[in-house]
Structure formats: C-alpha cells, structure tokens
Structure 1
Amino acid sequence: MISVALTTAAVGTALTFAASPAFAVGSCASGNFCLFENNDFNRGNTNHWLDLRADDYDLRNNYWYDGNGNQTDDSIDNETSSVKNRIGCNVMLYQDVGGTGAKTKSISNTDDGFLANNAIGDNRLSAVDICTKD
C-alpha cells in the first residue's frame, strides 16, 4: 500500500513537471549580452548562463542561472568561456575588475563559443562595458 502511494506521488510529480510550460532560459534573446560558463554556449555541459543589459565592472557579485532559471551560488567572475552579443552594439570584455587588464571586443550580433583564443582568455572575464566606445 505504501509503495502504491509513493508511486502515485512520484507519477503526479513527474506529470506536473512535464506539464509545466517550457522555460526558455539562456537563449540569448535580442537586447541581451549573454555569458555562458562553458565553451559552445554550454552545449553538452552544465547550463549556466547570465544575460546582461548594462555595464558591469565587477562581475564578482553576479551568479550563474541554471537551466531552470534559478540563480545558483556560483559566481560568474573568472568562469566565462563563451558569449553571444545580441545587445545591438559592441561590448568590451575585461580581464580585471574595474575594466582593466587584457581585453577583447565582442562585435554586435556575433557569437564567440571559445574565449580561450582571445586576449581575454578562458575563465578570466571580470568586467563588461556594454556599447563600448573603444
């Protein structure tokens, strides 16, 4: 009797989850500059992402969102491996908090699935200048 109740409860939970609307997170809609924790925009890896719309010169106080749209306790500082630029202007990526150190420009409406081959490098992003004048 107990196993039937547990099975029914588990099936009910699974049906509730499956019936919930699709949650499109980390899709990088127009108007966003999108950071991804892993290469190739998290393809085949943990789905950690963050969409930005304004300058942020200190990424230490930002945290990844997961595939369900929940904020994690994992800081994005020095953890970004790929980006998508849908903000409508160029964005400057900086190695150090405050907008100093090595830098890489992300051109409007482009994707970069492998930051390791740029001056900023892999897992070194600490500041972002949206609509940079550089």
Structure 2
Amino acid sequence: MRTIIRVAGACAAAASLSLALPAASALAGPDGGCDRGAVCLYAYYGYNYSGAYPRDLWRDFTESDAYLGDDLWLQGDTAVETSRIVNNDASSVKNRSGCEAVLWQNPLFTGAHSTFAAGRADPFLANGTVGNNTASSLSIWCA
C-alpha cells in the first residue's frame, strides 16, 4: 500500500512540475518559417513582414503554454532571445503541429480565443476573435 501511495505522489509531483516548465521550442526558423510539429507565433503581421521591411521576431511551441509572459521572442537565424516578451505581442500565427491550437486572450487558457486547425495560419490576428497583441496563453490539443 505504501509503495502505491509513493508512486502516486511522485506522479502528481512530476505532473505539477511539467505545468511550471516553459514550453519546449522546436527552433522554427526565421523569415516566417515554421517547422512541422510546431505552432509558431510572430510579432508582426504577415509572419513578420511589415511593409517593405521584414522583421524577424518569432517563437515556436510544441506543447501548450499557460502563460506567454515568461517567453521571449527569438530573433533572426541565430535564434537569439530578445528582451521583448511574447505575451500580448503576437500579430500572426502558423499551426504546423498536426493538432488543434488555440490562442487565448488571458493566461491559464481563459477569455476570448481563436482556434486554428492543423495546417491553418492567420497572417493578421487583428481580424480574429483573440485579436492583435492580446494572446496570453496557447493550448495545443491532439485528439
């Protein structure tokens, strides 16, 4: 009986730890690229192409992230982390995860949200329910 309780306690501790860790990055790549298996967020419309000047702030996710406030944008080919926070700063998205992705307006998957089926993208989040520069969490759900 004690062994079962210890195993159950260890499983619960591991589950709570996994919720606290930041989402893993698949290194999507700059210039609007997005690797298969990732959901990619971009700081600018059109997957970072704003007018005549391309901008290159992106972040990719392979699992849900309950709070985008602890994620920083990556920049350029070298994927250097910037000091700019992803939270309330995404303007476009690509879903290449093979699963359903949902951008939520508030942390912990609450508030207004926009759903993106596998393979879907939106170069202009301002036209969607979640809106421009308002996403605070991302859920990725595979059936």
TM-score computed with the length of structure 2 as normaliser: 0.73
Match of 2:75 in 1: 66
Task: Using the TM superposition, give the Cα deviation of residue 69 of structure 1 relative to its aligned residue in structure 2, in angstroms.
Answer: 1.1
Give the share of equivalent positions with the same residue, in percent.
33
Aligned-residue Cα RMSD (Å) equals 1.4
Structure 2, unmatched stretches of 5+, are: 1-27
Does 2:34 align with 1:28? Answer: yes
TM-score computed with the length of structure 1 as normaliser: 0.78
Change over 3 Å in CA distance of 1:49–1:90 after alignment to 2: same
Aligned ranges 1:74-89 → 2 under 5 Å: 74-89=84-99
Match of 1:5 in 2: none
**Is the Cα–Cα contact under 8 Å of residues 92 and 132 in structure 1 kept in the other structure?**
no
Structure 1, unmatched stretches of 5+, are: 1-23
For 1:100 and 1:111, the matched residues in 2 are separated by 21
Does 2:58 align with 1:49? Answer: yes
Aligned ranges 1:1-134 → 2 under 5 Å: 25-26=29-30, 27-43=33-49, 44-67=53-76, 68-131=78-141
Structure ranking higher in strand proportion: 2
Task: Using the TM superposition, give the Cα deviation of residue 111 of structure 1 relative to its aligned residue in structure 2, in angstroms.
Answer: 1.4
